[in-house]
A and B are shown apart, each in its own frame.
Chain A
Amino acid sequence: MTLSAHDDLILLVREPIGAGALVKHVRLADDGAVVTFDGCVRNQSHGRKTLYLEYEAYESMAFEKMREIAASLHTLFAIDSVAIAHRLGRLEIGETSVFIAVSAPHRKAAFEACRHAIDTLKKTVPIWKKEFFEDGAVWADGELPPVPAATPAAKPAS
């Protein structure tokens, strides 16, 4: 468990995510709303029956990118506190893979910030999902994160 600025809570865990603790963490006395996103393992993918999933991460970088997402929410939205947890390892159908909780004085900012957080996480955090089916396993299709442009100091790609 690590607390960052604004007492945000960022977690990468191999055990089931304790959603209640995350909600409790962000819910402060001056908040009028807590919005949560519970991402869970589906029983099928593109029509194929899923048996289970395995998640892996570039853990140190994933943690930093999740921390950056939480920090950015405070500059983009009028929110109070953020908790983001992602689970790694083997997950069974129905289990929570990612859980996000955002608190705010008013609901609009909390909804928007929570949506922004999961959308950004799926594009920028180095975590990968392998789907296991009855007849094999595949790495899930994903999104290629945006990369900053080359600085003038760097030489052209060969």
Chain B
Amino acid sequence: MHTRVLFFGKLKELAGGAEQSIEIGSGATIADLFERFANQAPALASFRSSVVASRNQEFAPWSTVLEPGDEIAFLPPVSGG
């Protein structure tokens, strides 16, 4: 299953790109997806507790199961305003 993944702010720099796509097995969760990237970019792993995920532009828990065509984003603490 092909999944589009977006990184923002500091995470974009740690992941080595703002937008990436990845092939991942069906039944995988957002947590599984993050782990795949963290394995490739260990600096990401240490930020896991300061990351929230979104699925199709809604905040989503780590246990969310991916669906084909999902747009997943990993977001660091927000600092707008």
Contacts and interface: CB of A to CB of B under 8 A. Distances in A.
Contacts, number: 111
Nearest to B53: A147
A62 B54 contact: no
Interface string A83-102: 00010000000000110000
B9 A56 contact: yes
The B contact surface, by secondary structure, is mixed
B13 to A, nearest CB: 8
B25 interface: no
> Could you say which of B31, B32, B75 has the most chain A C-beta atoms within 10 Å of its C-beta?
B75
Contacts of A153: 65
Interface string B44-81: 00000010111001111111110000000101111111
Nearest to A154: B63
Interface residues of B, number: 30
Given A150-B63, A157-B29, A158-B32, A126 B54 contact: yes
A85 B32 CA distance: 36
Given A58-B8, A61-B54, A122 B78 contact: yes
B81 A39 contact: yes
Contacts of A157: 29, 31, 61-63
A150 B31 CA distance: 12
B77 A142 contact: yes
B81 A144 contact: no
Interface of A: 39, 55-58, 60-62, 64, 86, 97-98, 118, 121-130, 139-150, 153-158
Interface of B: 6, 8-10, 27, 29, 31-32, 35, 50, 52-54, 57-65, 73, 75-81
